[in-house]
């Protein structure tokens, strides 16, 4: 039971304090209880807590839309929803209806091996088939898959795997394709798998060449996680549609947006009602969420060094950790540091992850390994001493399971 949260700390009912080393499933961006965001929500709650967004607009939504579009040159339109899965669903439906409205329907969708895009049906279909999807597999629509050439420190096989993935993609793109969806730079739930910017640029070139739309799922990578404000920009790619959620409100409230190019928006503007994008949610553009997001963006604007410098703070600790026997594939991208526990049968259910979680918790550090993948994804407010504490606990936990 958790009673309170302050900065990187969670306060438990039994009086213990634990460091939240995974940002409460990657949402808590700055820290728990960030005062300026809390104040913005309280202020907004007294002014306008919620209003139907079908016939009305409001200042927090307009301000947020303007700020996000300014942060994404080329993406001038945006659509509000509630969570990462719906942000992806919206991108997916927009991409398919875009081709439909243009009178040249395209069905093929391409995603990457190991991808995770959410738990609703469309997002689930885009993601890799896994333990999570088994009961639904017969109903999930087909999605073409491209290998994901994930890399790590000292990897000398990546070049070949990238070339082979690109050849595979080229073959897939010979079929008319509506959209290709990627998690830029880091695949989250798939195991903190990291790809090189150059690979993403090559992917983007081929997608563009095939006339397909490029969708960036930045639900996890957005808002400084990868060391830049957005991973696509860091990787030098220009997606046509972008899904954002998790860190959008600083992790305070569930909210999401899908950004789109003007040319996509224009395909929906017509007198013919069949061209309308019939999609909406009860809490679309909730004013409290918008106020939180605006306050969070102000913090990111005022303190870019907090996310830009995070990788340098991880690096020496990750170097030390990765020398432990039993660990392999250390990798780092912005605030995200990961390493694999060498096991004979990797997978989400691998028990070692649970053991490591228990051991770390005993030392006041909350982690949640993805099977045999150990990672830290701390909130930006975590200081050096606290980060060291996380690595110390993780190292001792690893020694506990490998001895």
Ligand X SMILES: *Cc1c(COP(=O)(O)O)cnc(C)c1O
**Would you tell me which residues interact with ligand X (CB under 6 A)?**
83-85, 88, 116-118, 183, 188-189, 217, 219-220, 245-246
List for the chain the helix, strand, coil content (%; round to 5).
Answer: 40, 20, 40
Residue 12 phi, psi dihedral angles, 5° rounding = -90, 160
Could you tell me which of 208, 186, 205, 206 has the C-alpha nearest to residue 196?
186
Specify which residues 7 forms β-bridges with: 32
Q: How far apart are CA 153 and CA 380, in angstroms?
A: 24
Q: Which is nearer to ligand X, 85 or 258 (CB)?
A: 85
- Residue 281, class by beta-carbon neighbours within 10 Å (0-12 exposed, 13-18 middle, 19+ buried)? middle
Q: Which is nearer to ligand X, 253 or 322 (CB)?
A: 253
Please provide the size of the chain in residues: 403
Q: Which is nearer to ligand X, 10 or 181 (CB)?
A: 181
Residue 133 DSSP class: T
Nearest approach, Cβ of 116 to ligand X (angstroms)? 6
Given a contact cutoff of 8 angstroms between Cβ atoms, the answer to whether 226 and 251 are in contact is no
Q: What b/e string do you get for 196-212 counting C-beta neighbours within 10 Å, with b at 16 or more?
A: beebbebbbebbeebeb
- Alpha-helical segments (H) within 102-134: 121-126
Q: Which is nearer to ligand X, 31 or 84 (CB)?
A: 84
Nearest approach, Cβ of 58 to ligand X (angstroms)? 23
Nearest approach, Cβ of 228 to ligand X (angstroms)? 17
Q: Which is nearer to ligand X, 200 or 267 (CB)?
A: 200
Nearest approach, Cβ of 123 to ligand X (angstroms)? 6
Nearest approach, Cβ of 392 to ligand X (angstroms)? 27
Tell me whether strands 177-182 and 213-217 are parallel, antiparallel or unpaired.
parallel
Q: Which is nearer to ligand X, 206 or 225 (CB)?
A: 225
Q: Which is nearer to ligand X, 68 or 88 (CB)?
A: 88
| Residue closest to ligand X, measured at CB | 84
State both tokens at 119: 């738990």
Nearest approach, Cβ of 87 to ligand X (angstroms)? 7
Nearest approach, Cβ of 34 to ligand X (angstroms)? 19
**Nearby residues of 161 by Cβ (< 8 Å), 6 or more positions away:** 147, 149
Q: Which is nearer to ligand X, 24 or 50 (CB)?
A: 24
- Residue with the two structure tokens 């279909």: 125
Nearest approach, Cβ of 86 to ligand X (angstroms)? 7
Specify which residues 289 forms β-bridges with: none
Q: How far apart are CA 324 and CA 74, in angstroms?
A: 45
């Amino acid at each position: 039971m958790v009673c309170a949260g302050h900065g990187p700390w969670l306060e438990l009912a039994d009086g213990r304090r634990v460091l939240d080393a995974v940002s409460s499933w990657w949402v808590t961006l700055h820290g728990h209880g960030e005062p300026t965001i809390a104040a913005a929500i309280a202020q907004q709650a007294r002014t306008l807590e919620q209003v139907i967004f079908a016939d009305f607009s409001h200042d927090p939504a307009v301000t947020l839309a303007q700020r996000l579009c300014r942060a994404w040159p080329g993406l001038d339109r945006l659509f509000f929803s509630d969570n990462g899965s719906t942000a992806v669903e919206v991108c997916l439906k927009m991409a398919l209806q875009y081709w439909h409205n243009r009178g040249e329907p395209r069905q093929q969708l391409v995603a990457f091996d190991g991808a995770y895009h959410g738990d609703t049906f469309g997002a689930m279909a885009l993601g890799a088939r896994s333990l999570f999807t088994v009961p639904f597999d017969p109903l999930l629509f087909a999605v073409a898959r491209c290998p994901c050439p994930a890399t790590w420190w000292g990897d000398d096989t990546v070049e070949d795997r990238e070339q082979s993935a690109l050849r595979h993609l080229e073959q897939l793109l010979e079929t008319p394709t509506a959209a290709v969806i990627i998690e830029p730079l880091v695949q989250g739930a798939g195991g903190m798998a990291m790809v090189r910017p150059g690979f993403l640029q090559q992917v983007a070139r081929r997608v563009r060449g095939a006339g397909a739309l490029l969708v960036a799922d930045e639900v996890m990578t957005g808002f400084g996680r990868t060391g830049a404000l957005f991973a696509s920009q860091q990787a030098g790619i220009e997606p046509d549609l972008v899904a954002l959620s998790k860190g959008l409100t600083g992790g305070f409230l569930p909210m999401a947006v899908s950004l789109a190019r003007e040319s996509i928006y224009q395909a929906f503007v017509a007198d013919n009602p069949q061209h309308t994008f019939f999609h909406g949610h009860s809490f679309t553009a909730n004013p409290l969420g918008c106020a939180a997001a605006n306050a969070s963006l102000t913090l990111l604007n005022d303190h870019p060094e907090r996310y830009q410098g995070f990788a340098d703070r991880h690096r020496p600790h990750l170097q030390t950790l990765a020398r432990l026997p039993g660990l392999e594939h250390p990798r780092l991208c912005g605030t995200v540091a990961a390493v694999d526990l060498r096991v004979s049968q990797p997978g989400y259910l691998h028990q070692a992850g649970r053991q490591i979680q228990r051991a770390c918790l005993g030392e006041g550090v909350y982690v949640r390994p993805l099977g045999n993948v150990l990672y830290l994804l701390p909130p930006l407010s975590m200081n050096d001493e606290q980060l060291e504490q996380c690595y110390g606990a993780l190292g001792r936990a690893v020694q506990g399971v490998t001895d």
